[in-house]
Structure 1
């Protein structure tokens, strides 16, 4: 499905059904299909809406507009176009920073926030060399494979998922690849996230080398004080692909505990 949002054509993938929607925002290097394995575990209970950020997957790739606020506006437009009345934002890494900004605006219908290996709201301090390495991480098949094996994962991906990560990473537009390390990663939204007022859970991989447990404890959790932390043992940064069933279980438990069902169908009521 294609939705025109914020002046840009955004590709949207929907699965499942339910009165409550999970709006899933992917990481730097991914696409809407990053969430497929998590969605397959949850689609019997929820409507799963996964987007491709501008410049990624099958979404349009304008020349500019890759700040966190731009990506947030794209997602907000999709939510409005689909008429979602009740939803939980689920953001992974870069998508987690986008989700934090959206949640800070306290939009109507937002009932919860799930941050999966999220980029914290504070700027990431990188040396010029580190920034150059990150900027070049998705330029060739060899560079993507190196990043998968040495940075992104702690558990081996099966051949299909590994190939998916490589394809998604290489497919993205050059301007989208460059914008995260050079623009959005440097943005400071710490003041904004103090306004987040919905139930929030942070899911962190024990072995995450990108946005690790210690970083999240120092840079994110103090800024969203009511957020709970769940650590996935033996897992790296790509938990939606490394441990999708575990991620899905944590999400379902969080939703069940914090977001009451508002409609009971006749069969369930019997």
Structure 2
């Protein structure tokens, strides 16, 4: 597979692109649809098997089975999500690819909501019970470092319903704004010496030996980015405020009050410098 080069700005001709067939033959393939349905089924089964039972399983020496089932689901959903993102990243301006990634992310968010309880409940297991389980089960003890990292989030966990709300809203909160930024940036074009170029080709010209070409590319970048600065500023402000809200609810100590307050105190009305 190759990607067509823009005229005059690629001495190597058509360059190779990712071959995603090792993951799935295509976004409409039966293999992809089957794996997505399997992931949904695994998530539902995981919830039925383990929700509300992790402390009991820990004391009974059976917690490692839940961890392995979680890994199995994580591997499958990771494969699905990777394929969705990579085919989108190949051509972020393609609306069909963008829709496919959006639909896939929504499906993965819905199924992951069913297993959201897992890490929350793991952090509610008493330290003494978990340590005793480590001593009895060498296989479980292999996950000791993972548990140590997981428990760092324990002081900042919210109740289950709030965690579920934060999780469900992620697709319409920071994830949506990140996607808007990426798609907008990918769609921009730059007029350089009478030729319309995309971002990659224009940035490439900044490394040209010819000073005039570098200058033309630099001015084209500045002109187009400045024309879109209002949108990019708004995206930055929303993301900063979104993080401030999340940090405040979780009780993180931001010291100086967080990026949102810093920008406001600077008298910029949170107009970030791009």
After TM superposition, the score normalised by the length of structure 2 is 0.24
Whose helix proportion is higher, 1 or 2? 2
Give the TM-score taking structure 1 as reference length: 0.25
Higher strand share: 1
